Chains A and B, each alone.
Chain A
């Protein structure tokens, strides 16, 4: 007998036991008061379908790998889709016609979603065919998007929060992206040459590495607050700056702080990339009569590009996350919802900010990873 797939088995046990014992959805009389939990099986007989699917998935963990991978791929996606459908149906049933009441996800629902990702992850590990892998990892998400966009989840509190803030939501998403993109731009503007100089001079390299370590230890929140004073002073001294939109709070100090954090991974990426270029290739290039510019463009840069992009990716993902804090000094962004929600103890408002940040970070990471892969010269793959 082959060993059972432990990831899949663990996921199923986790989900089944939580569905039986823990609340699946939470009903609140309005968005601020504490709610009461409902277990999945209390919400209707349809819940047994989900439990049944999970048990089936759990037993398929014992199949031989050839059958196990497709079984887990199908069942993992089914659990996810049926789970989402049940959340949507039960939520609207629970809500009834009340306009003030709110329904949000409770632990069992979250664990069920986590468990379905365990199943899909286990399947991806076993699957060999790249297209089957892509299909397995995307079907659930596509169906989820369809359900979301057709209003299947509109009874959920997060969606309610979204609907009541439709206008500001996309504005803040835009601001958030704007902050991250501008900060990435300025970070690259300083980080790329810094990394280049560090690779050229031993002394500067030590300085860069030391300084980078030091800056990373400053709490980001503190840095944001600290920048308010010098920026205010700057604007007082040169009032003309205000006409460019520079003030003690808002966009300018936010970008400055973000740049401080963003430029170091970029500088390090360039430094590591250039240092990884084999010395022998450089000597050969010089010996054949390349000028230093030719050597950089045709040897150093193509060989370092992968690690340079790696640094930019790290920086970009960090900036998407850090931009959240910018709302605290009035620069807006998705932090507005997170900190607003925290302030008023409205968890669903926190989610309305946190989930898009997560999605943006994941998409940024995936995008840059693709770019990185494509940039690796064929001879090095």
Chain B
């Protein structure tokens, strides 16, 4: 648990952060968000004392952070930044091993841990352990940055726009991977971003700041339903209904679908989707065409489906771009799991 009590930071006469109190529960992701200069990054850096607070107190798992030496405190807190900051003269392995080495771990333990982390972030250890940062793509470098933050298995992670510098596609993939990791690891995370969609997607709670002050601290659902004031409402944007859908997953609203087997296309039962003997999606049947062989159009499942763990907002956007009223829902292997209709997607907006 991270507990900020009346924390403030002044530079001369300017107040960067003003009397901020915030409690981040163990195992939760708290996203700090706000316009540039609102004090979100300052707040984050006060937690690991890269910036010393001018006033107030920060407790990490009940312990006053000022009772430790800054470097001791930081070794227990994972830290990843937007520019990644991998050490260019060290290999991927050595970069990830920095904190374990600082903590004096034995070599075999470091070796095992780094390999485990490379697997965890989906980089082949044989190929990437001895590579230098310049050989990595932007997304790979960000993954290594996250692995480096996780290296010594800290309970607390501080992320300063870690996915800010990559293209939107990669960012979305990194966000999904991060959510998957967090489900397993249950870290206490403070995450700074200026992207409200990222905040809604990743957070358990959002702290929205303006001019060094906390405007609202609530779950994304609460914030979308009841913005505390005009600033929060404006910052979230007009499409609150749509954003709300980002918090609902397809698996929670879809209906089951068996699909039609390739070999019995004539039996147009309940579904328009065609699967092979293994259940993998192969295409769809056009209900307006009567002759069976003309009705079938074959597709790669990746091109026409969404995953169970896709959020409804993305599914809706997919529906619109494909022009479908019903989307097939598959698992990671392309096996048809169900289908999502437009009405179902709309019903997911709950009581907004």
Contact = CB atoms under 8 A, between A and B. Distances in A.
B235 interface: no
A283 B87 CA distance: 11
B89 A377 contact: yes
28 contacts: A278-B85, A280-B81, A280-B84, A281-B87, A281-B88, A283-B50, A283-B85, A284-B79, A284-B86, A285-B98, A286-B74, A287-B48, A287-B50, A287-B81, A287-B158, A288-B74, A288-B102, A288-B148, A289-B70, A289-B71, A289-B102, A290-B71, A303-B89, A377-B89, A378-B89, A378-B132, A379-B132, A380-B89
* Size range of the chain B interface in the assembly: 20 to 34
6 residue pairs, one from A and one from B, having the closest CB atoms: A284-B85, A379-B132, A377-B89, A289-B75, A289-B74, A287-B79
Interface string B129-143: 000111000000000
Interface in A336-381: 377-380
Interface of A: 278, 280-291, 294, 299, 302-303, 377-380
A302 B102 contact: no
B72 A286 contact: no
Contacts of A281: 85-88
A286 B89 contact: no
Classify the secondary structure of A's interface with B: helix
Contacts of A278: 85, 88
Contacts of B84: 280, 284
Interface in B94-117: 98-99, 102
Contacts of B74: 286-289
Nearest to A305: B89
A304 to B, nearest CB: 10
Nearest to A377: B89
A299 B87 contact: yes
Contacts of A284: 79, 81, 84-87, 148
A74 to B, nearest CB: 40
Which of B70, B85, B98, B158 counts the most chain A CB atoms within 10 A?
A: B85
Contacts of B134: 379-380
Q: Which of B50, B79, B89, B133 has the most CB of A within 10 A?
A: B89
B253 interface: no
Contacts of A290: 71, 98, 102
B182 interface: no
